[in-house]
């Protein structure tokens, strides 16, 4: 079972949008996918129009098995939802005398043979739950908003991943996914170039600014349901093809010469 964390310590970079569309895109390609929302905002269930009786909170507190917290969201796609009560679980994990960083990994163990991929939607910050996410993941998708403050936040996140990887040798920060690319704004293209200079072939083709991506949330659909011919669907589809192929090297489909117009 492949575990992919969609994570970045900075908020507002498109983590939930990426986690939801990555999960549904992989499901549409025939993979059995479990999306686990580890953010107290609980946006994944809202984005997919799912109502859940049990959440990750009950699972991490030992009040329910993850098998009972799974809710069907789409064909091949299940969800473990979250809500603001998850902060209670974070506090309980932080208070554990031993192996608190393994709580999420232990919770996922009963579904290890049921899914091809688990996608973890991580909250911003570095609380006990966020550390657990990286502690059990194989790969990280790091969305990076192309804004002036983004690069400094990315470097902080890289250092955080390096610290966590001392306890999780399989963890690999595999994909930097630029988001909110808007070449009507000069800094957007400049930030993309800087990101590539720092992280080279780990930088994926960017997700362009696309109003349908935000509209799809309000309609409780993935971009592939709401606007399958939109630029948002095109961009995420290209990224999902890359992830599903599981290439060891990430190649970017865009070059500086492409940065002429959106």
Q: Which percentage of the chain shows pLDDT scores above 90? A: 76
* Per-residue confidence band for 253, with pLDDT thresholds at 50, 70 and 90: very low
Residue ranges per domain, the chain?
2-258
Pick the closest to residue 32 from 141, 117, 140, 145 (CA basis). 117
Residue 130's nearest CA partner among 60, 33, 202 is 60
Does the pLDDT value for residue 254 go beyond 60? no
Q: Please check whether residue 161 is in contact with residue 27, taking contact to mean a CB–CB distance below 8 angstroms.
A: no
Instruction: State the Cα–Cα distance between residues 200 and 195, nearest whole angstrom.
Output: 8
Averaged pLDDT score across all residues of the chain: 91
pLDDT in tens, 101-120: 889 999 999 999 999 999 99
For domain 2-258, the CATH superfamily is P-loop containing nucleotide triphosphate hydrolases (3.40.50.300)
> What percent of the chain has a predicted confidence (pLDDT) above 70?
94
- Per the CB < 8 A criterion, the answer to whether 213 and 170 are in contact is no
Give yes or no for residue 37 having a pLDDT over 90.
yes
Instruction: Using the predicted structure, report yes or no on whether residue 251 has a pLDDT greater than 50.
Output: no
- Per-residue confidence (pLDDT) for residue 35, from 0 to 100: 98
């Amino acid at each position: 079972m492949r575990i992919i964390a969609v994570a970045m310590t900075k908020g507002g970079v498109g983590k939930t949008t990426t986690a939801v569309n990555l999960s549904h895109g992989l499901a549409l390609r025939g993979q059995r996918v479990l999306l686990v929302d580890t953010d107290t905002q609980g946006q994944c269930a809202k984005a997919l129009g799912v109502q859940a009786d049990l959440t990750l909170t009950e699972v991490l507190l030992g009040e329910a098995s993850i098998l009972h917290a799974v809710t069907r969201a789409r064909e091949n796609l299940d969800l473990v939802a979250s809500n603001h009560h998850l902060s209670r679980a974070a506090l309980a994990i932080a208070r554990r005398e031993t192996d608190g960083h393994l709580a999420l990994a232990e919770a996922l163990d009963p579904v290890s043979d049921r899914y091809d991929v688990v996608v973890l939607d991580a909250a911003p910050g570095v609380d006990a739950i966020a550390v657990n996410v990286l502690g059990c993941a194989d790969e990280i998708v790091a969305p990076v908003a192309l804004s002036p403050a983004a690069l400094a936040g990315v470097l902080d996140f890289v250092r955080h991943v390096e610290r966590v990887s001392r306890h999780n040798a399989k963890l690999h920060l595999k994909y930097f996914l630029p988001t909110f690319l808007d070449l009507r704004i000069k800094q957007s293209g400049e930030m993309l170039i800087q990101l590539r200079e720092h992280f080279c072939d780990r930088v994926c083709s960017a997700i362009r600014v696309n109003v349908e991506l935000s509209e799809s949330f309000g309609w409780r659909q993935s971009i592939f349901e709401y606007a399958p011919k939109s630029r948002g669907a095109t961009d995420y589809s290209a990224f999902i093809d890359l992830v599903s192929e599981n290439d060891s090297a990430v190649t970017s489909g865009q070059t500086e010469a492409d940065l002429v117009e959106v």
